[in-house]
Amino acid sequence: MPDTRAATLLTAQALTAGYNGVPAIRGLDIKVGAGEVVSLLGPNGAGKTTTLLALVGLVPLMSGSVVTLGEPVNARRPHLTARRGMMLVPDDRGIFSGLTVRDHLRLARRRPSAERERVIFDRFPALAALESRKAGLLSGGEQQMLAIGGALLAEPRLLLVDEMSLGLAPKIVQEMLPAIRDLARAEGIGVVLVEQHVELALAVSDRALVLNHGRVVLEGTAQSLLTQRERLEAAYFGADEFADPSPDLDLTAEVVS
């Protein structure tokens, strides 16, 4: 088993990014270590998706810096970041309705590996029985399994997942999130989750950041945030009460390396 705390895979400092000259996120700092799961929480419009897009280079930076896997992210050449091992599963799942499950998995593979496929099918056994089915005929949960399974098949070092639970029953999310958590630990994958199911996300995360109006308003270990529910809710909904840190809340959010 790899040393899951051996390296910092992603570092963003004072990250400001947006659209048409208008910032959607401002001054964001985030680190993700190998084997670590970090959740980005917050209401709709808080800047979570923009953060992911900026981290992979699909939204250019206005200021600040992003370094992934030892190299700066270049918004003009985001494919290079993907080649180094950073994968994004978008909120629309990024699948092609006319292609089969098998087609998607073939496209996702960096190199043929029956062993790697077995790992994915072990984590998402429903996919094994659906290889010949077109993606457009899959349920929402099956499509999300396919999207995440395809990303994992490429053996990423960093995995970013945007709104995995969108349109899914909580029971399905409860089954999928632990699979991602287990793979992160087993393979040393750094994971960033954008998730609306706050408690489910925190249950599988090491740390979390709460965004509101484009800024990080609260951050800490997942365990500490779960024990500070009132402060978490206040930060999430933009109330002022979260401004004075509780002595029991870890706001340092440092990556152990």
Select the more confidently predicted residue: 233 or 50: 50
- Rounded to the nearest 5°, which phi and psi values hold at 34? -60, 130
Q: Which two tokens stand for residue 191?
A: 């994971």
The pairing of strands 8-19 and 22-33 is antiparallel
Task: Single out the residue of 219, 175, 218, 227 nearest to residue 199, CA to CA.
Answer: 227
Q: What is the pTM of this model?
A: 0.83
State the Rg of the chain over Cα: 18
Express each pLDDT in 92-129 by its tens digit: 778 888 999 988 888 877 676 777 788 888 888 888 88
Domain ranges of the chain: 1-85+156-257, 94-155
What b-and-e string marks burial along 142-168, b requiring 16 or more CB atoms within 10 Å of the CB?
Answer: bbbbbbbbbbbbbbbbbbbbbbbbeeb
For residues 15-20, give the mean pLDDT: 94
Q: Which two tokens stand for residue 230?
A: 């009132």
Calpha distance 250→244 (Å, rounded): 12
Mean pLDDT of the chain: 84
Q: For 1-85+156-257, which CATH class?
A: alpha beta
